[in-house]
Amino acid sequence: MDPQLKRGLIEVCVLKVLSAGASYGYKIIKDISPIVEISESTLYPILRRLENSGLLDVYTREHNGRLRKYYRITDAGTGRIAEFLDEWKTVMNVYNFIRGGMGNDKI
């Protein structure tokens, strides 16, 4: 898979996981791994990018005597999921055209 496409898909997957509630890095990886392969070295730059874009907030909380960083989706992050779903309709029309069918809508 194209690395930029994969990164974009992982970003939306991270936002979707966080739409169910705040979470931390290891759990996010665990939740996304059945869908797409992801490592810590992939996840943490994505989390920073999403935070810098205002799509998620970060806070720390003590867990077993250590501080753990938690991530929570913002309203803008929820909006990004909706934008992605809308954009994906166009991608599916192109996919169907390439596969030999005809898309329902114009690109």
What ranges do the domains of the chain cover? 3-74
Q: How confident is the model at residue 2 (pLDDT cuts 50, 70, 90)?
A: confident
Q: Cα(45)–Cα(28) distance, rounded to whole angstroms?
A: 13
pLDDT band at 20 (very low <50, low <70, confident <90, very high): very high
* Residue 39 phi, psi dihedral angles, 5° rounding: -120, 170
Query: Taking 90 as the threshold, does the pLDDT of residue 79 lie above it?
Result: yes
Average confidence (pLDDT) over 57-75: 94
The more confident residue out of 51 and 107 is: 51
User: What's the whole-number mean pLDDT along residues 46-71?
Assistant: 95
| Fold (topology level) of 3-74 | Arc Repressor Mutant, subunit A (1.10.10)
Integer Cα distance of 11 and 68 in angstroms: 21
Q: Is the pTM of this model over 0.75?
A: yes
Task: Note the helical H segments in the chain.
Answer: 3-19, 25-32, 40-52, 75-99
